[in-house]
Amino acid sequence: MFEYEILAKEGRARTGIFHTPHGDLQTPVFAPVGTQATVKTLTPVHLEELGASLVLSNTYHLYLRPGDELVAAMGGLHNFMQWPKPMLTDSGGFQVFSLAQMRKIDDDGVTFKSHIDGSTHRFTPEKSIAIQENLGADIIMAFDECSDPNDRAYSQIAMDRTHRWAERSLDAKTRNDQALFGILQGGVDPELRAVSAAFIASLPFPGIAIGGLSVGESKDEMHAMLDVVTPLLPENKPRYLMGVGTPEDLINGVLRGIDIFDCVLPTRLARHHAAFSSEGRLNMMNASFARDPRPLDESCDCYTCRTFTRAYLRHLIMAKELLAGTLISIHNLRALIRLIEEIRSHISAGIFEKQAPVLLEKWSNNTQKSTKDD
């Protein structure tokens, strides 16, 4: 269990299989985010149809509501939300630092107030692992501290704490049917990142996550940090770039040796009426789509593109019909999953480095809004 089998390599890019109790994951893989035990507005049938294989859920949210003990009593997260394939939970650390109303950090853990009702709670590495064992995902995360990338002094403190918490997370773990991944930190400092990569790689984690990126630094800084850390990581463990990304981030990440991605972007954009397309990101409220008989993206094979016109999607949006969010979420998730499938096949064929500029060109208008957007 939790072996990572590399099937093909090209430069730093790899394609492989990560074995989990709920099935094999083909990497590189993009995981839709189901923060509260649901990928917003979609059923598990939608997710299976659009080719999702790994779904992420958030420990902080589920601990607060409905509670990890309740999820455990209902047979665990897979059973609770009826997702039969692999799942991943984060450690709750990132949300404590970004969502909680108040937080007080010490070397032992973090005390915080719930963003829902202001009640006081405390997470430690041991508590985070206990919660994640109750939730029962296939891949769980060590408890970490994500620092402001531009504050080097604090980045060092947070990194050191993350390292001690990584060891405590390993010690706290009791289930052997969950893969506990370590998380490396270090802000945007190459030296700290190298230290963190070496330290986390030295511990017996079956996979390694790169935290603290896509949190406000530039794309160039993110790429530079990946260029520092992935060469220091063992080949035979999957690498997970947390909370990333856009279509371009996926391409650039795989080029630098990343195997696993997750991001709320596809579903969040969908709820704000924005769709990925090969023409660039489309704002589906735009009046130019009012009588447009084409699908969102003529090259897409998703249910939305096989079934509905842009005119209909725009009508749903203008009429404030929630089905719009469902249909655009299906498309946006399928777009990223199709991209990652294409990347996998390019690596297998040994043509990814040649095709990457073509893919980047095709998707370049999707990171920023398209010109049709205002």
Binding site for a copy of itself (CB under 8 A): 36-38, 40-45, 61, 65-66, 70, 73-74, 80-82, 290-291, 293, 303, 307-309, 311-312, 314-316, 318-319, 321-323, 325-327
Q: Which is nearer to a copy of itself, 185 or 304 (CB)?
A: 304
Q: Which is nearer to a copy of itself, 11 or 76 (CB)?
A: 76
- Per the annotation, the verdict on 259 as an active-site residue is no
- Per the annotation, the verdict on 160 as an active-site residue is no
Name the catalytic one among 68, 259, 262, 297.
262
Q: Which is nearer to a copy of itself, 40 or 152 (CB)?
A: 40
Question: What is the Cα–Cα distance from 118 to 303, expressed in whole angstroms?
Answer: 41
Name the catalytic one among 68, 90, 259, 297.
90
Distance from the Cα of residue 268 to its chain's centroid:
13
Q: Which is nearer to a copy of itself, 186 or 295 (CB)?
A: 295
Peptide bond into 28 cis (omega under 30): yes
Question: What is the Cα–Cα distance from 97 to 48, expressed in whole angstroms?
Answer: 32
Burial class of residue 212, CB neighbours in 10 A (0-12, 13-18, 19+):
buried
Q: Residue 337's closest CA among 287, 279, 271, 263?
A: 263
Q: How many residues are present in the chain?
A: 374
Inter-axis angle of helices 219-229 and 190-202, to 10 degrees?
A: 40
Q: Residue 116's closest CA among 67, 178, 172, 166?
A: 67
Question: What is the Cα–Cα distance from 173 to 141, expressed in whole angstroms?
Answer: 11
State the nearest-atom distance from the C-beta of 228 to a copy of itself, in Å: 39
Q: Which is nearer to a copy of itself, 42 or 282 (CB)?
A: 42
Q: Which is nearer to a copy of itself, 215 or 300 (CB)?
A: 300
State the nearest-atom distance from the C-beta of 237 to a copy of itself, in Å: 34
State the nearest-atom distance from the C-beta of 306 to a copy of itself, in Å: 10
State the nearest-atom distance from the C-beta of 295 to a copy of itself, in Å: 11
State the nearest-atom distance from the C-beta of 66 to a copy of itself, in Å: 4
Question: What is the Cα–Cα distance from 200 to 134, expressed in whole angstroms?
Answer: 25
Q: Which is nearer to a copy of itself, 106 or 321 (CB)?
A: 321
Long-range contacts of 222-226 (CB under 8 A, 24+ apart): 222/249, 223/252, 223/256, 224/188, 224/190, 225/186, 225/188, 225/190, 225/193, 226/252, 226/253, 226/256, 226/257, 226/258
Q: Which is nearer to a copy of itself, 153 or 319 (CB)?
A: 319
State the nearest-atom distance from the C-beta of 132 to a copy of itself, in Å: 18
State the nearest-atom distance from the C-beta of 281 to a copy of itself, in Å: 23
Residues 6+ apart with CB under 8 A from 249: 214, 219, 222, 241, 261, 263, 367
Give the dihedral of Cα atoms 121, 126, 132, 135; nearest 10 deg.
Answer: -70
State the nearest-atom distance from the C-beta of 36 to a copy of itself, in Å: 4
Active site residues: 90, 262
